[in-house]
Amino acid sequence: MVTLDAPYIAGFLAFREVPSLVEAVKRLQEKDSSLMPQVLFVDGNGVLHHRGFGVACHLGILTGLPTIGVAKNLLQVDGLENNESHRGQAKELQMGGDFFYLKGTSGNVLGAALKSSQKSVKPVYISVGHKISLEAAVKLVHSCCKYRVPEPTRQADIRSREFCVKTTNEKQKPQD
């Protein structure tokens, strides 16, 4: 259980969430270091960011672990935007695993839009966080997708919500 104190501001997600994420990794290290993952999927961006340093990069630096940013929406940066052209490209993705690079106005490849599962229409936005190539990141994410959101992230989402409901009910349960 953690408490968030910073508000959500687009572009500053790391300042809100990274302390809790680092704490989670630290707790796992102490509880059973043999379970330490070789790579972390982060719900947010890596270098696909206004200042080239999203929450996935922060977490990678602070933990020393390889990280991959997997965002569910395109953060509009360096000329990239979810416009008609972009949606057209996304529409051309055929099979799960198909992707296209996200090249900004600067000429830099900041990430990739991946059709992560066969059924998904909307791509996920993959970007390098730390100590991994974009190509490896795209392959790894695709290999973990049964649905649109990679299973590790999806399970974390589902189970954390369950935990919140459970603890809320626990608090409000009348005492005998």
Residues in contact with DNA by CB under 7 A are: 8, 10-14, 43-45, 49, 54-56, 69, 71-76, 81-82, 157
**One-letter amino acid for residue 31 of the chain:** K
Least separation, in Å, of the C-beta of 44 and DNA?
3
Residue 75 or 90: which CB sits closer to DNA?
75
Least separation, in Å, of the C-beta of 29 and DNA?
23
CA–CA gap between residue 137 and residue 116 (Å, rounded)? 12
Residue 29 or 164: which CB sits closer to DNA?
164
Least separation, in Å, of the C-beta of 6 and DNA?
11
* Closest among 70, 75, 118, 74 to 93, alpha carbons compared: 118
Least separation, in Å, of the C-beta of 17 and DNA?
8
CA–CA gap between residue 167 and residue 152 (Å, rounded)? 22
**Within 10 A of 16 (CB to CB), how many other CB atoms are there?**
15
Secondary structure letter of residue 112 according to DSSP = E
Residue 33 or 160: which CB sits closer to DNA?
160
Q: Which residues contact 125 (CB under 8 A, 6 or more apart)?
A: 45, 48, 69, 70, 71, 72, 73, 74, 75, 102, 111, 112, 113, 114
Residue 41 or 93: which CB sits closer to DNA?
41
